[in-house]
Every structure is written in structure tokens, then in C-alpha cells.
Amino acid sequence: MNDKIDRRTFLKTSSAVGVGLGLSQLAGPLRAAHHKSTMNKVRVAAVGTNSRGNKLAGIFAQIPGVQVTHVCDPDEQAMAKGIKTVEGLGGKTPQGVNDFRTLLDHPDIDAFFIATPDHWHAPAAIMAMQAGKHVYLEKPISHSPEEGEMVIRAQQQSGVVFQLGTQRRSGENYFRAKEEIADGAVGKPYLGQTWYANSRKSIGRGRPAAVPAHLDFNLWQGPAPRRDYQDNLIHYNWHWFKNWGTGEVTNNAIHEVDVARWMMGLELPQRVSSSGGRFHHDDDWEFFDTQEVNWEFPGGAMINWSGRSCNRYHLEGAGRGVVIQGTEGSIKIEPDYYTLFDLRGKEIRTERLEETVGADPIPAHVLNFIEAVRGNVKANTTALMGHRTTLLCHSGNISQFLGRTIQLDPVSGHILNDPEAMASWSREYEPGWKPTA
């Protein structure tokens, strides 16, 4: 299977609208489709509304013809936050629900958006699709490669619309950069350099603590094997624990790596190597604050990622980004501009977004999903695309934990001739919670 979307589809949905989602900011073809369909109501339930989910609730609620009907979260405070956000935008007050599974058969819900911790992503998406609901899922698509394969099967079997939150695939600037590369601006692309820098503080050593009264911790853990509550886990630090999170590479590298893979027309690698460690702080982190991952692809191409979670020193003048190098030059891509260089590194030209076009691609990505649900366009991501990029990130972690290079089948993505590495293809579940698809 091929995960490419043709350029006509790129252009049809090339709109990075502002937070206000004013129709005057939409690109022509999408504006016309959107104008025709705003009376086609789409009813959406929000699953997870503490941080990113709260932002998404606000974006969904601003789209004409979309109603956020329910806000689901095992944390009553996060639930209240989501409800307040929707109400504040003039929407009808959504119903608060502790467990989204009670809504799977609800006849008045068309779609779910899911912004839970990673360990819930695939199980929740699979349940929703098997119930016939469309799904917008935050990245990563899975907690393990096996889950990604199950999400693909669930989407294929159900035929619903699926969109992964790799929102750069709906960014106007990225469409333009993709066209430059397709038109030969850098020749044959063979190296994608990606990076991320932050200045995260230590999470310390967690201590056993009573579960807050507003949190259903058993439901929050859901598919993950049960662990005792500790005071440095919720709401963000779960990213750094293997039982619930998947580390920085799937938390942040996934965005730039997805762009590089997309721009270069690559699918799955054949060789993966990672080095680094937890160097900056001595605490409960179970992943890596410093990581270098290399993915080598058939046909002579490579993507690498440089991750610096605890030192915000910029590379190429930015805290995160993508540079694609080719036989005729290079292109540096940022959210609101891209720059072309010749083989000597001399700048040729820089193209910037117009001031009227927002650089944040999330609203456009959400709108693309809604228009796909309405049948006007195709979703800019698919389960297959999301799985392939997430698999790159998982394979980087697998290589890092094992301390050696791993070989992949570039068709299936499965790890070759290494049973120990392949044992990481799946994860352990709380009894009775493993999804099936």
C-alpha cells in the first residue's frame, strides 16, 4: 500500500486558518466546500480535555455546523475545563461524562476526537471506529507498533474517516515546500535533518500519594497494567514513564520526522540506530533527554533526528525544524516560511506566508477532518501514514533501549532477525483490556 496523497488533494485542503476560523481566510476550493456544508451538522464528543484536548475542543466548537456534544475525562477538573471552553465560545453546554465508552453507541454522536495519554490512543480509537464513529486522534497513533497495525485494520474494516494529529500535513507553508521539492528545487532529496530542543526541568523522584478526589485513576490507567499513584505523574509527566508514555521521540520528533518523510516521499526504513540517554537529570524519567536517531531507507536516503529535551540551544537558528538536502540544494522548512539554498549553502530565496494566513496548522487540520466527515475532501492523514511515522519513532526507542542497530522489513516494518527487538512490537495490557482488530 502507498501512503501518498496526490497534489490535487494537497491543494484542495491547503488552508492554515487562524484560531477564529473566519471563512474569509479559507483557500478557495475548501471555502466553497465548507460554505455548502455548514448546515450538515457534525456532532463531536471530546475525549481528554486537560491540555491539547482543551485547545481542540475550542477549535472544534468554532467551526460552523459542528457541535461538541460531550466532554469525557476521568479527571473532573479537566472535564470542567473542557465544558467551560465550549460554553465560552457560545456553544451549547456539552454533557460531562467520566467514561467515553458509555457513548460509543450514542446515536447523536458522529465523531470522537481523542487527546488522552498515549496508552489510551489506539484502544480508544479502535473502540470508536468499531462503533462506526469517525476519529480525530492526537499523535502518536499507538503505544506500540502492534497497536498501529490494529488501528489500520479497524479503519479499513469500518470505513470511517480517521485523522491523526500530525497537523503539519494541513499547513499551507508545508504544501508549498512540498511543491518546491516535487518541482526539483533541491534535486533528488536524500537527507532529512530534523531536531527538537527544550529546557524541561527534572520531574524528581515520585512519592506514593493518595489519588486526588477529582480523578478516577483506575479509569485513567485503562488499558495499561495497574501501577500505584505517585505525585509526579499527572498530568504531563506520564510521557516519561513506559507504562503510559512513549518518550520525546513520539511526543515531538514525530512532527518533524513526519514532515521529512512526507517531503522526501519515503515510506519505511530498512535500518535504524539510536544513541543517547538520560544525561541531564537524575530522576524518574524512563526515556531519554538526549537522543540521536538515524533511519536509513531503501534507494539511498536517510532521516535523522536530534533531540535535546533539557537544553534549548537552537540548531539552525530554531528550537525545532526540518532541513531537506538533495543533489541540487537544500530547503529549510519552518511553520511560516521556507528557505532554499544552493549546494554551497548560499541562500537563494525565502518564501513566507501572507500575514492573513495563520502559521498554526491545527485549525486547518481539524477543519480538514470535519470536511472529510462531510464527504467534501479526503483527510490529509490516514491511519497508514500515521502508523508509518509512529513506527519510525517506536523503532528509534527500541534501538536505544537495546543499544544496537536494528533491521526492518521496509514493506511491513517488522524487525528482522532479532527476536529480542521484535518482543517490543507489542505491549503488556491490564487483563481484559487488550484491543482487537
* Measured CA distances, 120 to 42, 117, 182, 397, 429 (Å): 24, 6, 37, 19, 11
Distance from C-alpha of 215 to C-alpha of 418, rounded to nearest angstrom: 41
**Amino acid 36: pLDDT:** 52
Element (H, E) at 124: helix 118-130
Grid coordinates of 170: 494541513
Tell the residue number behind the cell numbers 536517531, with chain if given: 293
**Amino acid 357: pLDDT:** 73
Helix, strand, or coil (residue 207): coil
In the sheet where 42-47 sits, what is the strand order? 95-97, 66-72, 42-47, 111-114, 134-137, 162-164
pLDDT tens digits for 11-61? 343 333 333 444 334 444 444 444 455 558 999 999 999 999 999 999 999
**Amino acid 91: pLDDT:** 80
Q: DSSP string covering 297-310, please?
A: ETTTEEEEEEEETB
Q: Which amino acid is at 170?
A: S
Task: Say which range, 35-39, 296-300, 331-335, has the weakest mean pLDDT.
Answer: 35-39
**Amino acid 118: pLDDT:** 98
Residue 210 has pLDDT above 60, yes or no: yes
Q: Which amino acid is at 155?
A: Q
pLDDT tens digits for 215-267? 999 999 999 999 999 999 999 999 999 999 999 999 999 999 999 999 999 99
Residue 7 has pLDDT above 90, yes or no: no
pLDDT tens digits for 112-151? 999 999 999 999 999 999 999 999 999 999 999 999 999 9
Nearest to 10 by CA among 317, 262, 342: 262
Grid coordinates of 89: 465560545
**Amino acid 256: pLDDT:** 98
Q: How confident is the model at residue 354 (pLDDT cuts 50, 70, 90)?
A: confident
Residues whose CB falls within 8 Å of the CB of residue 119, separated by 6 or more in sequence, listed in order: 143, 221, 222, 223, 224, 243, 244, 245
pLDDT tens digits for 182-202? 999 999 999 999 999 999 999
Q: Which CATH architecture has domain 7-170+361-386?
A: 3-Layer(aba) Sandwich (3.40)
Write down the pTM of the prediction: 0.92
Distance from C-alpha of 255 to C-alpha of 259, rounded to nearest angstrom: 6
Average pLDDT score over residue span 338-362: 91
Residue 356 has pLDDT above 90, yes or no: no
The number of CA neighbours under 13 Å toward the Cβ of 304 is 11
**Amino acid 17: pLDDT:** 33
Residue-range domain boundaries for the chain: 7-170+361-386
